[in-house]
Chains A and B, each alone.
Chain A
């Protein structure tokens, strides 16, 4: 397996080993040894839970620096609908799109067509699916990775349909290379992203294919510039005229889709990793029946609550509702374009998703059982306080690490006085 890329970096220099990241990680992928946080790459699902809690600013999201995009001859922005919910009511999607052009993009993609196409593809897929149910949406990369790491038996329930942003990348390259006589690689398809997880899904898609997009720029990274451009245009020219109708840029579903064509009682939208995990636990037991499709987003509130957004979730949601309410019916051109593309394009995922191989699995079953028994035995000697001073988030994790010889059991302060002295030395001011 190629080396896993992740959506953020931990700076060893800045890290002070204070451990909120380790405690916040839902897959227990962080250990803090010798006063420094370190990632177990196989377990990381790029959710970004660690990102906001670091008191030392040592964890940063990897997005593409805006300046790096100049290598493309023609740059096209594919803006997550979450972008439009970041600004005031009078700053319409058309104003925001205009500001993106002023910022140096050569075009802003009419992304809602792709979202509508994927809505349809998903509706069709759900209707034809033989089972097992429920199918699970895959547009949130964290959800895909969570299933690959923690729910391997549910991987086949991830819906085998491409994410709308990928379809947008494919189509915009096709169209502009035809219109402008450019090679597809000379055209930059850049996603304006509400989270670092989508950046990673572009750098390294979970299905091990190459993304149709070339990179992603975080909303928070361009927010100030966009705001400035909007203010400038509005002041100089009054209300900006633009070819963008609201319908082509902004989709009326919740950001990243809602599927009104699926019957309500068979469709369940879920947001927030904690709730998603609860429901996934029930699915794995076969407890959830009569639900055909789960739309899951790792961030509470969905993509408008992404960790690279600026506006607080509730204000953004209010703006989003306002945009939906003020939308006119889709234009005939929009409908026509959706019909045309739906007839000719294939939306199925190019490669099947597979469970992620976790490091421990390379040893045989007998050895795994031995480790498990050893870990159970070792756990009996630990205080079950989950204090984290050993450098693992829970006593159970520490017992497992020790059983697999990845850590010393005596790193527990209850078992060794030396450990306290060692920590005192490390955390000395």
Chain B
């Protein structure tokens, strides 16, 4: 069994583009201070950033929880929002429901979820339309070290 070493939770505000990216920024600093190796750190931060941006763009609010164990880093992103009607479609590269406003800000290329999946060793997504979405991603510490 993996032993849990550290658990940190961060609140994410929906539609607050001004603060967008701050949570993944904090996570980056935390992992750097902990001396997590560069390759894994990069993967975690990409997953955290894409996850954070999804909450900011689509949901009312959300929580990102980081759980560090002696073997891996787990990210759990739970939001209260519109949910995803067709998860299979949402995971296809290039599929996007982004508004013009989001596209103007450089998002909406349909790479968010696929990018998260690509950078995770385990990836799970559950969603209920009208309620919210839960994303789980695991990055193994020694897989790339």
Taking beta carbons and an 8 Å cutoff, which residues of A are in contact with B? Answer: 150, 152-155, 281-282, 284-287, 289-290, 355, 358, 360-361, 365-366, 368-369, 372-373, 400
B28:A285 contact, CB within 8 angstroms = yes
B25:A285 contact, CB within 8 angstroms = yes
* Residues A372 and B32 in contact in the complex (CB < 8 Å), given A281-B25, A285-B21: no
* Residues A285 and B49 in contact in the complex (CB < 8 Å), given A152-B32, A368-B34: yes
B68:A369 contact, CB within 8 angstroms = yes
> Is the C-beta of B143 less than 8 angstroms from some C-beta in chain A?
no
A106 shortest CB reach to chain B, Å: 45
Collect the chain B residues with CB atoms within 8 Å of residue A361's CB. Answer: 35
Render B1-32 as a binary contact track against A, CB cut-off 8 A, 1 for contact.
Answer: 00001100000000000000100110010101
A365:B45 contact, CB within 8 angstroms = no
A286:B5 contact, CB within 8 angstroms = no
> Is the C-beta of B88 less than 8 angstroms from some C-beta in chain A?
no
A366:B5 contact, CB within 8 angstroms = yes
A284:B28 contact, CB within 8 angstroms = yes
Collect the chain B residues with CB atoms within 8 Å of residue A358's CB. Answer: 35
Interface centre among B38, B39, B50 (most CB of A within 10 A): B38
B38 in complex: contacting residue of A286, A287, A355, A360, CB < 8 Å: A355
A282:B32 contact, CB within 8 angstroms = no
* Residues A360 and B35 in contact in the complex (CB < 8 Å), given A285-B25, A286-B49, A365-B70: yes
A365 to B49, CA, bound (A): 24
A189 to B24, CA, bound (A): 46
B41:A287 contact, CB within 8 angstroms = no
Measured CB to CB, the nearest residue on chain A to B5 is A369
> Is the C-beta of B46 less than 8 angstroms from some C-beta in chain A?
yes
A372:B6 contact, CB within 8 angstroms = yes
Collect the chain A residues with CB atoms within 8 Å of residue B70's CB. Answer: 365-366
B38:A368 contact, CB within 8 angstroms = no
> Is the C-beta of B33 less than 8 angstroms from some C-beta in chain A?
yes
> Is the C-beta of B131 less than 8 angstroms from some C-beta in chain A?
no
A360 to B33, CA, bound (A): 9
Please provide the 7 A-B residue pairs with the shortest distance between their CB atoms, ordered closest to farther.
A153-B42, A361-B35, A153-B38, A152-B38, A285-B49, A369-B5, A153-B41
- The contact sample of 29 A-B pairs, CB cut-off 8 A, is A150-B32, A152-B38, A152-B41, A153-B38, A153-B42, A154-B42, A281-B28, A284-B28, A285-B24, A285-B25, A285-B28, A285-B45, A285-B46, A286-B45, A286-B46, A286-B49, A286-B50, A286-B115, A287-B21, A287-B49, A290-B106, A361-B35, A365-B34, A365-B35, A366-B70, A369-B5, A369-B34, A369-B68, A372-B34
Collect the chain A residues with CB atoms within 8 Å of residue B49's CB. Answer: 285-287
Interface centre among A282, A284, A400 (most CB of B within 10 A): A284
A341 shortest CB reach to chain B, Å: 35
B39:A372 contact, CB within 8 angstroms = no
Collect the chain A residues with CB atoms within 8 Å of residue B37's CB. Answer: 152
Measured CB to CB, the nearest residue on chain A to B31 is A153
A45 shortest CB reach to chain B, Å: 15
A380 to B106, CA, bound (A): 39
Measured CB to CB, the nearest residue on chain A to B23 is A285
A150 to B21, CA, bound (A): 18
A282 to B105, CA, bound (A): 14
A369 to B6, CA, bound (A): 7
Interface centre among B106, B115, B141 (most CB of A within 10 A): B106
A373 to B70, CA, bound (A): 15
Measured CB to CB, the nearest residue on chain A to B42 is A153
* Residues A282 and B21 in contact in the complex (CB < 8 Å), given A153-B45, A365-B70, A372-B33: yes
